[in-house]
Amino acid sequence: MERSSRFISLSGLSGISAGIIALIGALVAFFYLEFDSRYFDTDWYFAEKLYRMIPGKLHLLLLDASIILILALASAIFFTTRKAKRKGLKVWTHSTRLMLYNIAVPLLTGGIFSLILISYHLIFLVAPATLIFYGLALLNASKYTLPEIQWLGISEVILGLIACVWMGYGLVFWTIGFGILHILYGAVMYYRYETPGSVN
């Protein structure tokens, strides 16, 4: 009964691919900002009036983030659908709808909140905010899917809170959260559920 009430078609390969995509996107952002951590440091940001430079850089950064999101979602759909077909499972079920609803509300809220932060030139808070809201979204949806999602969500929230303290390293923590943690989580999921002799 518990198995039928959970979305179990999530593929570990989707996590790995999303992590690799995030790492590439973060590298592009690092290069574009010329590895200047002052954009995420509150003291330098306002003292040097760096917020006046943001509009010129913001378009590419938003485009970079949008491409990361689209490619990550596409890879998740591809690998998850492939896994479901191999195991003879349905992808679009009641559990799927519940999971998507529970993950969408915090994600959309976090996205709107991040845009508000940008409008007030508080770009150094965007990386921590996206990590925290993404972690909360995973926690919210974890009761409808595999238990490993809960631990990934907790890790993202903790990382986001740490990023709030060390402002100058926001993009670094974002890279760890969306890149490295996804790869590690995806690898664990793949070997636990998709290799010969796995539990699923």
**What pLDDT, in 10s, does the model give residues 121-172?**
787 788 899 999 999 999 988 888 777 888 999 999 999 999 988 877 788 8
* Residue pair 95/1 in contact by the 8 Å Cβ criterion: no
Quote the tokens at residue 48: 């040097």
Name the one residue in this structure whose structure tokens are 């492939």. Answer: 82
**Using CA atoms, how far apart are residues 154 and 131, in angstroms rounded to an integer?**
10
Residue 199: per-residue pLDDT: 54
Identify the bridge partners of residue 145 per DSSP, sorted by sequence position: 7
Identify the bridge partners of residue 7 per DSSP, sorted by sequence position: 145
Name the one residue in this structure whose structure tokens are 């402002």. Answer: 167
Residue 179: per-residue pLDDT: 93
The counts of H helices and E strands in the chain are 8, 0
Residue 39: per-residue pLDDT: 55
Q: Does the pTM exceed 0.85? A: no
**Using CA atoms, how far apart are residues 9 and 58, in angstroms rounded to an integer?**
36
Residue 109: per-residue pLDDT: 96
**Using CA atoms, how far apart are residues 60 and 40, in angstroms rounded to an integer?**
17
Per-10-residue mean pLDDT, the chain, length 200: 50 87 88 62 52 61 83 83 74 76 91 88 84 93 82 94 84 90 89 67
Residue 38: per-residue pLDDT: 55
**Using CA atoms, how far apart are residues 181 and 184, in angstroms rounded to an integer?**
5
